[in-house]
Amino acid sequence: MGYLQGDKPITITNLLAMHSEREKITMLTAYDSTMSALLNRCGVETILIGDSLGNVIQGHSSTTPVTVEQMVYHTECVARANTHAFLIADLPFASYGDPVQALDSAAELMRAGADMVKLEGGDWQVEIIQYLVERSVPVCAHLGLLPQSVHLLGGYKVQGKSKDAASHMLEQALACEAAGAQMLVLEAIPSSLGEKITEELHIPTIGIGAGPDCSGQVLVLQDMLGISPGKPPKFVKNFMDGHSSVEAAIKAYVREVKSGKFPGLEHGFAG
Ligand code: KIV
């Protein structure tokens, strides 16, 4: 059964229960009210107001130009039409350099309607995660490919491929959980590592190119509708194929994530 039923908003307690009952969690990005309303109607449990809006809305080649003010604007747009879904908003690049700055930025996103904030990084963010959680800001961490570090990484590359890199990432995930993170996004890592991290943690993992064994899945909305320019990453499936409306495509995504049909083997990475 889906958790997005009736009028009750989805809470972190529901999401933790879904993780322990092994019901897959669905997540998609949205940046505006129309899509927020549609995702709610289609039964998507969590909406990510991702800083991917830098790419898909603003036309930049990375997420680094996105500001807190812009994240606030889009979070407000999504929140206005949200009826049930759990809303996660990204802390953008350079908005959480120290605990006090992180709390200021997170407070703006929470006031705009976010239920949780997401930040990129592992053990180097432990102090910030702890500081936010102790001040009642729920935190989702993000490991693997970190889009805000694209200039440091030299491009969008699969992470955690070697044995050492994989065990280091597992340590990072455990450190984030111990610091109080209540959810973890895993991006572009081998499927076997997605499975291992999910097994070892008590909090839900949400995969994007992290294999079928994460607690849930997320895609950028424009990617899964096949309308993003350029060649899509390997982990993207175009759900408009075989569907005649955006609503039907999103409902198919929800069905396929719930049943485990998506992601398939072809969307994953080997270790
Ligand atoms: O900004 C975003 O959309 C994200 C997803 C890629 C997980 O962080």
Mutate to test the pocket of ligand 1, among 64, 220, 234, 236 (most ligand atoms within 8 A of CB): 220
**Could you confirm whether 69 is annotated as catalytic?**
no
223 CB near ligand 1 (under 6 Å) = no
What is the reported pLDDT for 1? 46
From the CA of 243, how far away is ligand 1's center (Å)? 24
For 69, other C-beta atoms within 10 Å of its C-beta total: 9
From the CA of 221, how far away is ligand 1's center (Å)? 10
Backbone angles phi, psi at 116, to 5 degrees: -160, 155
What is the reported pLDDT for 2? 57
What is the reported pLDDT for 3? 58
Query: Which residue's C-alpha comes closest to atom 8 of ligand 1?
Result: 50
What is the reported pLDDT for 248? 98
Secondary structure (H, E, C), the chain:
CCCCCCCCCCCHHHHHHHHHCCCCEEEEECCCHHHHHHHHHHCCCEEEECCCHHHHCCCCCCCCCCCHHHHHHHHHHHHHHCCCCEEEEECCCCCCCCHHHHHHHHHHHHHCCCCEEEEECCHHHHHHHHHHHHCCCCEEEEEECCHHHHHHHCCCCCCCCCHHHHHHHHHHHHHHHHHCCCEEEEECCCHHHHHHHHHHCCCCEEEECCCCCCCEEEECHHHHCCCCCCCCCCCCCCCCCCCCCHHHHHHHHHHHHHHCCCCCHHHCCCC
What is the reported pLDDT for 6? 63
| Backbone CA torsion sign across 117, 101, 110, 48 | negative
Mutate to test the pocket of ligand 1, among 27, 149, 159, 187 (most ligand atoms within 8 A of CB): 187
Residues lower than pLDDT 70 in the chain = 1-6
Q: What is the pTM of this model?
A: 0.97
90 CB near ligand 1 (under 6 Å) = yes
47 CB near ligand 1 (under 6 Å) = no
Q: Reduce the DSSP state of residue 41 to 3 states and report it.
A: helix
